[in-house]
Structure 1
Amino acid sequence: MGNTRDQVGKAGLFVAGGIFRTAFYVCVAVLIFWIGKSAYQFGYNVFNQQAVSPGAGQEVTVVIPEGSSTYDVAKILKSKGLIDDSLVFFAQEKLSTYKGQMQAGTYLLSTAYTPTRIMGILAGDEEQTGVTQDSATAADTAAQTDTQTTDAGTDTADTQSADGTADTQAADGTAGEGESGQ
């Protein structure tokens, strides 16, 4: 009787070992498939840059603090809804021509911009109206703009341009005396 029990025990151990081995191989295959799929998707997202909202988009003001790392900038952009994935943006920046060139400052960005365009703006490569790259520059610009009221009660704005000349323009779009309205 003991001999039969040993044979049944060995057969049960063999079957249980086979089932365990098969389950282990299935789990390894699923894990390899999942890793491969994730790696492919990550690579696809890095090299196939898409804007968050193509078309008109929505403008967002972003402040990049002094000393921010590339990943810190990516997290800020993600929190503002300008990019979909911080890690993908980090990899895109490391592979781009803008590697290590992003600057601190205040920027006006749109959700319609691709990550490469955002990097270009943050690196100071692209001109954009409404963008101030340095907070000191923003304060200087605000200090140079004065609003006055003329005798007739019309508002005029005196703005000192970068070359030091003053331009005066009324609120209704007409130019002051001796100056052309643009």
Structure 2
Amino acid sequence: MGNTRDQVGKVGLFLASGVFRTAFYVCVALLIFWLGKSAYQFGYDVFNQQAVSPGAGQEVTVVIPDGASTYDVAKILKSKGLIQDSLVFFAQEKLSTYKGQMKAGTYLLSTAYTPTRIMGILAGDEEQAGVSSDDGTNAAADTGSDASSDGAADTAAGEGESGQ
């Protein structure tokens, strides 16, 4: 009788270990699948930049404080609804030509801007900022350039008069 009990115990132990082993393998396979899917989605989001709301968008004023890290800037932009994911924006900035160039200040941005365009504006790229900036920076730049050319004309006229 003891021999039968030992054989049943061994069979039960063998079956239980097989079930647990199979469950473990299934869990490992699901984990690998989930990690692969997450990595693919992250890479897709980083390299396939999309605006939050394509089309006209909504203008938002953003204040970037002095000494803000790239991730701090990303969290600010996420809270304002300009980007969808802070970590994706952080990775995009590290891979972009604007790496480490974003500056503190107050900016007028739109939800229709792509992350690269937002980075360009925050970095002070004239090609990006000059398209539809309503914050008066371009008007001031134009006025400044006109004033300097007028000043140069006045100086040249003054030199001409003094030379006669």
TM-score if structure 2 supplies the norm length?
0.81
Q: 1:127-169: per-residue Cα shift (whole Å, max 9, x none)? A: 3433478xxxxxxx8xxxxxxxxxxxxxxxxxxx43278xxxx
Equivalence for 1:43: 43
SS in 2 for 1:67: coil
Please tell me the residue identity of whatever aligns with 2:134. G
SS in 2 for 1:19: helix
The question of 1:127 aligning with 2:122 is answered no
Matches within 5 A, 1:138-153: none
The question of 1:67 aligning with 2:71 is answered no
Q: How many residues align?
A: 139
8 A contact 1:106–1:132 mirrored in 2 = no
Provide the aligned C-alpha RMSD in A. 1.6
Q: For 1:57 and 1:95, locate their aligned partners in 2 and report how far apart those are by CA, in whole Å.
A: 26
Residue segments in structure 2 that go unaligned for 5+ positions in a row: 151-164
SS in 2 for 1:90: helix
CA shift, 1:52, in A, is: 0.2
Q: For 1:12 and 1:101, locate their aligned partners in 2 and report how far apart those are by CA, in whole Å.
A: 66
8 A contact 1:60–1:109 mirrored in 2 = yes
Q: For 1:131 and 1:36, locate their aligned partners in 2 and report how far apart those are by CA, in whole Å.
A: 44
Larger RCO: 1 or 2 (CA < 8 Å, sep 6+): 2
CA shift, 1:17, in A, is: 0.2
CA shift, 1:6, in A, is: 0.4
- Tell me which protein shows more helix as a share of its residues: 2
8 A contact 1:106–1:131 mirrored in 2 = no
Equivalence for 2:8: 8
TM-score if structure 1 supplies the norm length?
0.73
8 A contact 2:75–2:86 mirrored in 1 = yes
CA shift, 1:70, in A, is: 0.1
SS in 2 for 1:74: helix
Please tell me the residue identity of whatever aligns with 1:130. D
Please tell me the residue identity of whatever aligns with 2:129. E
8 A contact 2:120–2:129 mirrored in 1 = no
- Tell me which protein shows more strand as a share of its residues: 1
Q: 1:53-78: per-residue Cα shift (whole Å, max 9, x none)? A: 00000000000000000000000000
Matches within 5 A, 1:58-97: 58-97=58-97
Residue segments in structure 1 that go unaligned for 5+ positions in a row: 134-140, 142-160, 166-182
8 A contact 1:56–1:112 mirrored in 2 = yes
8 A contact 2:61–2:107 mirrored in 1 = yes
Q: For 1:90 and 1:116, locate their aligned partners in 2 and report how far apart those are by CA, in whole Å.
A: 11
Identity %: 82
Structure 1 segments, 4+ long, off by >3 Å, are none
Q: For 2:135 and 2:44, locate their aligned partners in 1 and report how far apart those are by CA, in whole Å.
A: 31
Q: For 2:136 and 2:37, locate their aligned partners in 1 and report how far apart those are by CA, in whole Å.
A: 41
8 A contact 1:105–1:132 mirrored in 2 = no
